[in-house]
Amino acid sequence: MPPKKHSSLDRVLGRLDTLDPVNLTNLVQRLARERELFEDIFNTLQEGVLVITLDGEIEYANLAAHRLIGLGEDGLVGETLWRLVPGLRASLGIALEDDAALPVVTREFELAYPEPRTVQLYMVPFAEQHAGGRRFAVILSDITRTKQNTEERIENERTSSVLLLAAGVAHELGNPLNSLTIHLQLINRKLKKLKASKETESVAESIRICEGEVKRLDGIITNFLEAIRPQPPDLRETQLTEVLTEVLAFQQSELADRGIRVEAETREDLPVVMADRNQLKQIFFNILKNAVEAMQPGGRLRIKARTDDDMVYLAFGDSGAGIKQEDLTRLFQPYHTTKPGGHGLGLMVVQRIMREHGGQIGIESKEGVGTVVTLQFPRKDRRVRMLRN
């Protein structure tokens, strides 16, 4: 074994019995200064630092550790880490056995107090055992934002891949439709050269129907491509209720045919937001379409606008069948749909547009009661403040 290295402090402490009162006083003052220096260093760190025993008793905690775990200053010393973070002791397993020799242990766990967040733990055993038994240094890092950013980046990449694939498929469908249009035109020209009869009139009517259906499919593909193709929003000062009123007016006939009653509670003093009007219409059309399809004839759709210091909210509440709990977590996944014939891209596109506007979409639902979709947009004046900070 290599020889033990001793610090100058160790050598001084080894001669305590030989120190006179003056030198002893100087030593104590030196130790106090060094302790204060190390305390300042540890309390400056953003990571939480703990020293714990084998039983999980906390012997030291810096300020960051108190903040992460949610206890006031000096509230951690003497507490048991296993009690403060339930389940952590069991997850560490062999690392806490007396004869374990693992150099570093790392774990991720969730903390709910004082706010939900994800914490990464590094636990390193001290090189030497002290008289009180085995001890560990524990480093705690708040990785909530990092994890959220990573998950959002993965989700955005997955969404982009799906939309690119869908756009490619939609584009390829356009080729056979163009071919059908050309051949229908050729058939129609040849038909006009034939002698008129009931049979030729019947064939001509069939051709007109086919041409109409091809045109309708071409329009669907065009609208689909416009809907899913990622485009940066053209942000301008926008009053949300004005755009909503235009969409409701356009949808009035369909709503009336299905007997859907719309109750809108809006405010004239609603703050403006920075938004792309066309993309807003796309969002509203998607949400209204989902709400109408979820309700039986005679249903009720309630729309309510509100605001706070930072955000403007639009809530759409329908009286439909509601959504199963197991489906709620998958609503924004591509191709997940609960509707016959649905493609499962509508809400994913809405979520993408909301993110590009700096907003969010939230969904609450209860089976047999209905669904509430809430859109959250940053106020224009709040955006300006955020940019200036």
Residue-level pLDDT at 384: 44
Tokens 């200036």 correspond to 388
> Mean pLDDT per 10-residue run, the chain (389 residues)?
52 63 74 74 79 86 83 77 78 58 68 77 74 79 77 66 67 78 86 83 86 79 63 87 89 86 84 90 88 87 89 90 72 54 63 86 83 88 48
Amino acid identity of 256?
A
Sign of CA dihedral 144, 331, 318, 279: positive
pLDDT at site 116: 79
- The pLDDT value recorded for residue 252 is 86
Give tens-digit pLDDT for 298-332. Answer: 889 999 998 888 889 999 999 888 877 767 666 66
- Contact in structure between 136 and 125 (CB atoms under 8 Å): yes
DSSP class per residue in 176-244: HHHHHHHHHHHHHHHHHHSPP-HHHHHHHHHHHHHHHHHHHHHHHHHHHHHHHS------EEE-HHHHH
Other CB atoms within 10 A of residue 291 CB: 26
Q: Is there a cis peptide before residue 114, judged by omega within 30 degrees of 0? A: yes
Write phi, then psi, for 172 (nearest 5 degrees): -65, -30
**pLDDT per residue as tens digits for the range 341-350:** 444 456 777 8
Task: Report the alpha-carbon distance of residue 181 to residue 214 in Å, rounded.
Answer: 7
In this predicted structure, what is the pLDDT of residue 223?
A: 61
3-state helix, strand, coil in the chain (%, to 5): 50, 20, 30
> Residue 342 has what pLDDT?
46
What torsion, rounded to 10 degrees, do the Cα atoms 237, 239, 240, 244 define? -120
| Burial of 179 from C-beta contacts in 10 A (0-12 / 13-18 / 19+) | exposed
Superfamily of domain 45-142: PAS domain (3.30.450.20)
Please report, as a single letter, which amino acid is at residue 82. W
Note whether 121 and 81 are within 8 A (CB).
no
- State residue 7's pLDDT score: 53
Q: What is the DSSP letter of 344?
A: S
Residue 264 has what pLDDT? 86
Q: What are the residue boundaries of the structural domains of the chain, listed by start?
A: 45-142, 148-228, 236-388
In whole angstroms, what is the distance from residue 203 CA to residue 192 CA? 11
For residue 274, the model assigns a pLDDT of 92
CATH topology of domain 148-228: Helix Hairpins (1.10.287)
Task: Please list the residues that pair with 367 across neighbouring strands.
Answer: none
Pick the CATH number of 236-388 from 3.40.50.10860, 3.90.470.10, 3.30.465.10, 3.30.565.10: 3.30.565.10
